[in-house]
């Protein structure tokens, strides 16, 4: 099934959703309408979560080439605040999506586009991908989900990235920890499918709970994260799923 919203294409099968930023003519630039559509799309998954979501950009030129410069260049103080709040809302909806979100990265992921990728759980890049945060070049700081970058790459690398406005290639992004996999462009879809297959093999409820805990750990002190984790593990036994799955595993191992 395929659904269309402004510059967003959603393809959903029995257990996977694919969300495509469909604005290839403009390097999948993110304007207000597209950001609102992204937020609404990811919020809609809360009612009936898929096993996983793949987020990508249409075409081969860009995952998302950043905020729409025509819109960005026409802002004032109040409209700038409203626009960047939209960027955050779209990224936050990705982070809060109950299903794991895989960023499928080809070409450029710049500025708000990189913040969107950073908001995903797993980033898989083609070897032609390029990453950058050019905001300082245009007289503005990198903000909102750019705050995730020190957690991903370390403060020093994030500082270099944000203060120089220079791009890095896919291999550097892998070495820095900004992405989890880099493969030849021709193998990108196969790598995404392999990751989806691995997620499908796991218990769906446990995967959703693990994603929730990852977000909790990001935002809370270590002691609170551990306490929340203890309760989460205990409550996972409410429906007996661990007993069934562990029992089946032990039975199969015994037969081998």
pLDDT in tens, 140-169: 999 999 999 999 999 999 999 999 999 999
Q: What is the pLDDT of residues 176-208, one digit of tens each?
A: 999 999 999 999 999 999 999 999 999 999 999
Say if strands 101-105 and 52-57 run parallel, antiparallel, or are unpaired. parallel
Domain 2-200 adopts which CATH fold?
2-enoyl-CoA Hydratase; Chain A, domain 1 (3.90.226)
How far is residue 100's CA from residue 205's CA, in Å, rounded to a whole number?
11
CB count in 10 Å sphere of residue 168: 20
pLDDT beneath 70, residues of the chain:
1-6
Helix (H) or strand (E) segment spanning residue 209: helix 204-219
Model pLDDT, residue 167: 97
Model pLDDT, residue 50: 96
The structure's pTM equals: 0.94
Tally DSSP H helices, then E strands, for the chain: 11, 11
Model pLDDT, residue 1: 54
What is the share, in percent, of the chain residues with pLDDT greater than 70? 98
Model pLDDT, residue 255: 84
Query: Long-range contacts of range 200-209, CB-CB < 8 Å, 24 or more positions apart?
Result: 200/15, 200/51, 200/52, 203/241, 203/245, 204/51, 205/236, 205/241, 206/236, 206/241, 207/51, 207/99, 207/100, 208/49, 208/98, 208/99, 209/236
How far is residue 120's CA from residue 104's CA, in Å, rounded to a whole number?
10
Instruction: Tally the residues of the chain.
Output: 256
Contact 246, 203 (CB under 8 A): no
CB count in 10 Å sphere of residue 222: 8
How far is residue 29's CA from residue 20's CA, in Å, rounded to a whole number?
12
């Amino acid at each position: 099934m395929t659904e269309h919203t402004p510059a967003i294409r959603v393809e959903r099968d029995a257990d996977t959703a694919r969300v495509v930023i469909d604005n290839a003519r403009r390097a999948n630039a993110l304007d207000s309408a597209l950001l609102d559509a992204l937020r609404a799309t990811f919020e809609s998954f809360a009612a009936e979560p898929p096993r996983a979501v793949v987020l990508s950009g249409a075409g081969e030129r860009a995952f998302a080439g950043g905020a729409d410069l025509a819109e960005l260049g026409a802002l004032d103080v109040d409209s700038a605040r409203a626009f960047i709040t939209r960027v955050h809302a779209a990224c936050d909806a990705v982070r809060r999506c109950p299903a794991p979100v895989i960023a499928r990265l080809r070409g450029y992921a710049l500025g708000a586009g990189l913040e969107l990728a950073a908001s995903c759980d797993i980033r898989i890049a083609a070897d032609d991908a390029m990453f950058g945060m050019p905001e300082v070049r245009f007289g503005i700081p990198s903000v909102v989900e750019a705050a995730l970058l020190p957690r991903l790459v370390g403060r020093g690398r994030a500082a270099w990235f944000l203060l120089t406005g220079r791009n890095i290639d896919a291999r550097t992004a892998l070495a820095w920890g900004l992405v989890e996999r880099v493969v030849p462009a021709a193998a990108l879809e196969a790598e995404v499918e392999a990751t989806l297959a691995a997620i499908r093999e796991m218990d769906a409820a446990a995967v959703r709970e693990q994603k929730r805990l990852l977000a909790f750990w990001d935002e809370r002190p270590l002691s609170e994260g551990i306490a929340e984790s203890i309760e989460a593990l205990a409550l996972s036994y409410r429906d007996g799923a661990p007993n069934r799955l562990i029992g089946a595993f032990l039975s199969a191992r015994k037969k081998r």
